[in-house]
Amino acid sequence: MLSPLSSQIDHARRSVLLVRASELEVIVVRGSDRISWLNGLLTCNLAAAAPGQAIYGLAVQQKGRIVCDVTVLVEEDRVLLVVPGSIREELEKSFDHYLVMEDAEFSHAPYAVWHAHGPRARDLVAAARAVGASAAELDPTGLGGAVIAAPAEGEAKVFEALSTALDQVGGLAGDDAGWEALRLEQAVPRFDRDFDGTTYPQEATLERRAVSFDKGCYLGQEVVCMLEMRGRVKRKLASIVLAKDGAAEPPAKGTEVFDAAGTKVGEITSSAPSPTHDAHVAFAMLKASAVAPDAAVKVAGRDARIYSGGK
C-alpha cells in the first residue's frame, strides 16, 4: 500500500491531485484597458491569452527584481490575478501608482483557490466551470495542470463539484505536503521560499516559463532583457537530490551547500521527502558557476547531486 505522500504523487502522475492553495489571494481587474494596462506591468504576454485561458507571469520592479509571481485568469469581462497573499497589498499599491488615465480598476475579493496537477486536471476545469467557478488549464509541473478560483461564499459548492469529478477520474484531494514533494520533484519554485524580492527572473529559473521576450514594453523589461542577452547571472536556483543515507529529516532552509572541493556555493531554500527518488529533494540558490547537471555537492555533510527536475 502506498504511503499518504506516495499516494499523492502517484495520483498527480497518473490521474489528478487537487490542492487548496490557502496562501493565495485574488485581485479582480475590470475595464476596457485592463489587458493593455496589465501587459505593461507583468512579464507574460496577456495579449496572447484568450478568454478562458490562464497564463503565468511575474510582477517585477523597475530594476528587474521580482515583486511576486502572478497567475492570470482571463475572462470575457474581467481578469483575475492570483497572487501570494503575503504581498497582495503591496502589489495593489504598486498597481495604483501606475494607473493614470487607463480605463482599468482593481479590487480585492475573498476567493478560494485550488491547483490541480496531473493528466486529468482538465476534467476538473469543466466541473468547476459548471458551478460558476473560474478555471483554466495551466501546467507548471509538466504533468498537466489547472488553476481554479471561486468566490469564498461559493467555496463549498465548488469543492463538492470538484470532489465528484475527482471520484469520477480516480483523482485525490491532497495537501501542502503532497504539493511540496511534487513541486520539488518537478522543479517548480515557490515565492517566499525559493525566490523573493531580491531575486531576478533568471536567478529563479523562471525566464522561460514566466517571461515573454517578444511582447512590447513592461515595467522592468530593460533589466530583465539585459540579463537575458548577457546569458549569465551570478547565482541560480538548482534542484538537488540527496543520497539515500537514512536521514530522518530533509535539510532546513538556510543549510549550507558545498561543492566537491569543500567550497561553500550556496544555501538550501526548501526541501521535502521525495517518494519518486526515495530520498530528500531540495532547491538551493547556488553560485551559477557551481550549477551543472549531476554535479556532486555536500549538504550538511550529506552527499547530494544537482539534477534536472522531473527526472
**pTM for this prediction:** 0.95
Structure confidence at residue 234 (pLDDT): 94
pLDDT at 251 over 60: yes
pLDDT at 136 over 70: yes
Q: What percent of the chain has pLDDT over 70?
A: 98
Closest CA to 130 of 161, 151, 163, 169: 161
Burial of 236 (0-12, 13-18, 19+ CB in 10 A): buried
pLDDT band at 135 (very low <50, low <70, confident <90, very high): very high
CB environment 89-116: b (16+ within 10 A), e (fewer): eebbebbeeebeeeebebeeeebbbbbb
- Report, as an integer, the average pLDDT of 136-155: 97
Contact call for residues 117 and 144 (beta carbons, < 8 A)? yes
C-alpha cell, 119: 493528466
- Report, as an integer, the average pLDDT of 245-253: 87
C-alpha cell, 251: 535539510
pLDDT at 1 over 60: no
Phi, psi of 227 (to 5 degrees): -65, -40
pLDDT at 287 over 80: yes
pLDDT digits 0-9 by tens, 34-85: 999 999 999 999 999 999 999 999 999 999 999 999 999 999 999 999 999 9
pLDDT digits 0-9 by tens, 166-189: 999 999 999 999 999 999 999 999
C-alpha cell, 265: 556555493
Structure confidence at residue 9 (pLDDT): 97
C-alpha cell, 285: 540558490
Distances, alpha carbon 309 to alpha carbons 34, 79, 121, 277, 282, in Å: 35, 31, 21, 11, 10
Structure confidence at residue 3 (pLDDT): 67
- Report, as an integer, the average pLDDT of 267-281: 96
- Residues whose CB is less than 8 angstroms from the CB of residue 64 and which lie 6 or more positions away in sequence, other chains included: 200, 201, 220, 222, 223, 224, 226, 227
- Residues whose CB is less than 8 angstroms from the CB of residue 302 and which lie 6 or more positions away in sequence, other chains included: 242, 243, 245, 247, 251
Distance CA 108, CA 110 (A): 7
Alpha helices in 59-175 (DSSP H): 88-97, 121-130, 155-169
pLDDT at 311 over 70: no
Place of cell 486536471: 121
Structure confidence at residue 231 (pLDDT): 78
Structure confidence at residue 308 (pLDDT): 83
